[in-house]
Amino acid sequence: MFSALSHGARRAVVKSLGEKGILSFSQLREAAGIAETGTFGFHLKKTEPLLEKLPDGRYKLSKLGEKAYGLMLFLERPEAFSVSSKKPEEGVKELRSLSRLLLDAERLGRYGKVTIKDCDEVLIDSDVSPELFRNKVLSIREVGRIVCPKELHKAVLSRIERGCGVVETYEGELPLEALEGRYPKYLENYGELVVDVSRLRPDTRIENYGRLTLTGVTEENVGKIASIENYGILRVPKGFKELVLTRVTSNYGAVEEYE
């Protein structure tokens, strides 16, 4: 994925498809700013893992491309890697230092504006519309796990400033497993996330593009992991590296031990 995004023209292709959905070859070439067809064809070929070509010849993002677009939205924010000690503005409610924060339309309606910080989990109910979310939520920082309706995905990504882990989406009502605090069977991490392996469901698949720390590691618990694709930094307790590596199917990053 990172190789496909290593050139500005390829990033422009992904960004255009992320914003507009489906585009033709010529529309993508225009978005990339490359007049010469052969040169653009070379870059389009390099971007293939992130694209899906439709029967009519137009293109849309593949599942991996959607992940890449989400990562780009996060990294494009100037605050993504900044450290700020600013106090919240007057009239802004700071929701912070919570194990679990459940946001619904009624709760958001009580506040003028809110910032969210230092929470293990943020669960957003299905009655929160994208318009309400954008109007109320100014920023999200240092949250391990966010669960939101699918239609809120872009709005949530636009508010993440730094240090957030996995963002999960759902359709319909907020799933019971989210309320029970169980991880989904497919985990993606783009920020910094701590995962208690004992809470995983059987046959969990993990993709790590950020900094992922595993806790609660035992031989029995590791058996719950079907696979780990590691493109970032994977941290495991000292003495369990070899055990965890038996679950790593792709490793383009680093695996570190901690005390």
The mean pLDDT of the chain is: 82
* 221-226-228 Cα angle (round to 5): 95
**The pLDDT value given to residue 152:** 94
Domain boundaries, the chain: 8-76, 91-181, 184-259
> What does the radius of gyration of the chain's CA atoms come to, in whole angstroms?
20
Q: What is the DSSP letter of 129?
A: -
Q: What percent of the chain has pLDDT over 90?
A: 24
Top CATH class, 8-76: mainly alpha
**The pLDDT value given to residue 82:** 44
Look at residue 35 and tell me whether its pLDDT is greater than 60: yes
Q: Write out the two tokens for 33.
A: 């700013």
Average pLDDT over residues 170-180: 73
Q: What is the pLDDT of residues 45-89, one digit of tens each?
A: 888 888 888 888 898 988 888 877 877 776 655 444 444 444 545
Q: What percent of the chain has pLDDT over 70?
A: 85
Task: Please indicate whether residue 130 or residue 188 has the higher confidence score (pLDDT).
Answer: 130
Q: Whose structure tokens read 């806790």?
A: 215
Q: What is the pLDDT of residues 201-224, one digit of tens each?
A: 888 899 887 788 999 999 999 999
Question: Residue 118: left (phi > 0), alpha (psi -120 to 50), or beta?
Answer: left
